[in-house]
Amino acid sequence: MEAHIFFGSTEVQRPCTNETKSPYSGEVVSRYPECTAEDAHTALKIADKARKAMRTSTLARRIKWLEDVARAVDENIEELAQIITDEVGKTIHFSRIEAQRCAETIRLSIHAAVELGGETFNSDAMPSGRKSLSFYQRVPAGVVAAITPFNFPLNLIIHKVAPALAAGNSIVLKPAPEAPRIAYRLIKYFVDSPYAIEDAISLIYGDAEVGTALVQSPIPRVISFTGSAAVGKRIMRNAGIKKVALELGGNAATYIDKSVDLVDAARKCAMGSFYNAGQACVSLQRIYVHKDVYDSFTQLLVTETTKLKVGDPNDPDTFMGPLINKETAERAENWVKSAVDEGAKILFGGNREGLYFYPTIMSSVTDSMNIICEEVFAPIVSLMNVGSFDEALSQINNSQYGLQYSIFANDLSLVRRAIDDFECGGVVVNDIPTFRYLQPYGGTKQSGIGKEGPRYALEEFTEIKSVVIF
């Protein structure tokens, strides 16, 4: 139940004075120690000393290390999944998938590291140039500071840790305070591996004080953060001259054209709206439906939503568990009430019991309502009746965010327009805008800077060094 600190390869067993309680049962499921800004400085200094060993290590050694950790994850899927469910209330079915994805992400990072390379170029292309052997290569950035959220407490850690180590960096991790033990279990696999490179990875806990210390220090050359846009802005102000990769919020939207299979679209949209209780930056929040099929689609979406089981996250048949904390549940409830006061209608749900906010479908909404213009991060989706794709496009792009959007359509011209005109980092066709595997993952506008995904994270965690040989 205890989650300890790792100062490099040294596990530090302090009194675990902080507690994490299950959002479902309210029972204490994890204990972890208090950390300070001084602890952040200590971890960074250790990482700084370890970066030479990482930079000079062979890729073969790092591959063995990562492969060994992937095997450990594979062998402990059930334990890891249960910790995720205990700490953040994610249903056990999806916790198992997350644990499996963790091992997959490690292996994909290995492949990306093997393929990562430089490029030669012609230095005599200009009349003033000189013939030479000219190329660039990618080299480790140095020290990476990673800060991760609660909603995917294992996979979002490994999306930073595995590429950072594969690229030859040392790293300091600060996970979400809601999920300390899953971070501890994963980092312990790294530290305990016989292939571990000494002091290459550190784990500390803490709040904004610790995060600020990591960000403001001159030691890390890359800050990799996943979380809210508000915190991302503070990081940008405090980071100074270093690389910053920010995966921030979103309010994902889709357009339903009149030509599509409405049953299929409704089933997918129900899952995309309420998966993980809406606690995902690509959770489907806005659905724009062509007027000719609006009524039919609305009824189908309600029907599909009624099929989703809400309850005990330990039950394999449960689709949706509780929200992470009381503050989040109250905010969801208040935003729905505020929207209703402004003229919105509740088509389904809208009720709260403790930390459970039941799947909610809204209509008659406007762009000024919080449930439309902000990131809800709760199981709330809104339906808009539109006369054309052009009308939907204008409203979809009228957002401060731009992470992922999607379109359900059989008309290739509409699909092409969506690809060209959606103002976002990713477009999905004939499915929900909730897709993240190998592709570059990241958004535009207030949704962040930089890209994740193993190959693209490796690029974020390396520098280009130009070489000219005469």
**Which residue numbers are catalytic?**
247
For tokens 């935003």, the residue is: 335
Taking residue 264's Cβ as centre, other Cβ atoms within 10 Å add up to: 13
Query: Helices 59-75 and 77-88 meet at what angle, rounded to 10?
Result: 70
135, 467 Cβ separation under 8 angstroms: yes
CA distance 121 to 24: 58
From 259, 274, 255, 299, select the one nearest 431 (Cα to Cα): 255
Would strands 133-140 and 462-469 be described as parallel, antiparallel, or unpaired?
Answer: antiparallel
CB neighbours (10 Å) of residue 148? Answer: 26
Q: ∠ at Cα 433 (163, 400), nearest 5°?
A: 90
Q: At 151, phi and psi to the nearest 5?
A: -75, -30
How far apart are the C-alpha atoms of 161 and 144, rounded to whole Å?
9
Per-residue DSSP letter, 335: H
Q: Which amino acid is at 243?
A: K
C-alpha distances in angstroms, 399 versus 33, 251, 407, 424? 40, 8, 17, 10
Please choose, from the candidates 290, 135, 145, 164, the residue with its C-alpha nearest in 3D space to the C-alpha of residue 215: 145
Q: Both tokens of residue 277? A: 């209780």
Instruction: Give the C-alpha separation, 175 to 111, whole Å.
Output: 25
Helix H segments across 387-430?
389-397, 412-421
The answer to whether the beta carbons of residues 158 and 452 sit under 8 Å apart is: no
- In DSSP notation, 257-290 reads -TTS-HHHHHHHHHHHHHGGGG-STT-EEEEEEE
